[in-house]
Structure 1
Amino acid sequence: MLHTLSFIGDRLERRNITWGVGGSLLLSFYKIIDKPNDIDILVDETNVIRLNEVMLSMGKPKEALNLNPYHTKDFSKYKINGVDIDVMGGFAIKHEKGIYKLSLNQDSIVTHKNINGVDIPLCSLEDWYILYWLIPNKQEKALLIERYLRNNGVAYPQLLEEALKQPLPIEVKDSVTKLLI
């Protein structure tokens, strides 16, 4: 999986595309989980077409269904070197209080990880903490991130503060507020 990620990163370098790795692979980089499922790539909405062109040159597209509760603007799936890749631009999730949208931009990329000599941009745990609360059946991962953030500190509180400005279920708002105290 890491070889495939560095292969993708190498192809995206110097193309001026804002993208970042999230999901279970991001959690594995922080040693929050052991076995990531796939590679989740978030991309700036203005870069979706260019990123997908690069992905098509490397692998095979798969059927991508944007089912409820997801309201992601651009969702694509690929198989590259036997690894499943999800690409999301304008990632959004509908819940009982409205639609929460994570628009990836340069501020969303908080660090890089060098893999096989390629710098891979990483999304923040703070953003994925919110997303995992909202994605059905993923609250366990939100709790794992919460434990990590409590033990290691919230590195990017401004991202959680921004998240609180969007519609969120009261339980999620309460959890975020407690983390910020």
Structure 2
Amino acid sequence: MITIEKKLNVLIKVAELLNKNNINWAIGASLLLYFKGIAEEFHDIDIMVDESEVEIVKKILLSLGTLQPENPNMKYKTNHFLEFKIDDVDFDVMAGFVIVKDNKEYYFPLQKKSIKDYISIDSVTIPLQSIEEWRTYYELMGRAEKVKMINEAIS
């Protein structure tokens, strides 16, 4: 099993390159909950990026690891969804995040204003998406347990 420490060390390596290239990016999903003290663990690293920068991000991550085969999920119609394996750590890159609920599409592109917070790990800045936005996303996805965890943390 890959330790949290190893996952974070790989994240630092990725973050350094994204920051060096002035990419508009942020952490979301379970790693966001972990950083906010809401979840005790996370499995993969979810990175949201600006749609206009997806190709440069792909190039950067290919320099570190391998692109995994596509694995589509009908609950999401995200414009760009790329899965990478970097030093045995799974990275999901999303640009133009779209959630489908009741045959309606909800579009959530990454915007600079949705980056509400930053943390620093070993002097490397990691941008974080809004926990409130992720509460909305999880609600639309039908992830009641995650919504409950966030509600308890922010109330």
TM-score (norm 2): 0.92
Q: Helix, strand or coil for the counterpart of 1:110?
A: strand
Which residue pairs with 2:28 in the alignment? Answer: 22
Matches within 5 A, 1:58-137: 58-96=64-102, 98-136=104-142
Q: Deviations over 1:17-50 (max 9, x none)?
A: 1000011111001111101111000001111111
The one-letter amino acid of 2:71's match is L
Matches within 5 A, 1:36-75: 36-75=42-81
Distance in 2, Cα, partners of 1:79 & 1:43: 17
Conservation of the 8 A alpha-carbon contact between 1:62 and 1:78: yes
How far off its partner does 1:14 sit?
2.7
1:146 aligns with 2:151: yes
Structure 1: state its 5+ residue gaps: 151-181
- The runs of at least 4 aligned residues of structure 1 exceeding 3 Å deviation read none
Q: Which has the greater radius of gyration?
A: 1
Conservation of the 8 A alpha-carbon contact between 2:101 and 2:141: no
Please say which of residues 76-85 and 91-100 is displaced more in the overlay.
Answer: 91-100
35, 45, 61: which one aligns with 2:41: 35
Conservation of the 8 A alpha-carbon contact between 1:3 and 1:116: no
Q: Helix, strand or coil for the counterpart of 1:140?
A: helix
Which residue pairs with 1:171 in the alignment? Answer: none
The one-letter amino acid of 2:82's match is S
Distance in 2, Cα, partners of 1:85 & 1:44: 16
Which residue pairs with 2:4 in the alignment? Answer: none
Distance in 1, Cα, partners of 2:102 & 2:64: 39
Distance in 1, Cα, partners of 2:111 & 2:69: 26
Residues 97 and 148 of structure 1, relative CA distance in 2, 3 Å threshold: farther
Conservation of the 8 A alpha-carbon contact between 1:32 and 1:148: yes
Q: Deviations over 1:79-116 (max 9, x none)?
A: 11111000000010111161111110111111111012
Select the structure that is richer in strand: 2
Instruction: Quote the RMSD (CA, aligned, Å).
Output: 1.1
Q: Helix, strand or coil for the counterpart of 1:148?
A: helix
Tell me the percent identity. Answer: 36
Structure 2: state its 5+ residue gaps: 1-6
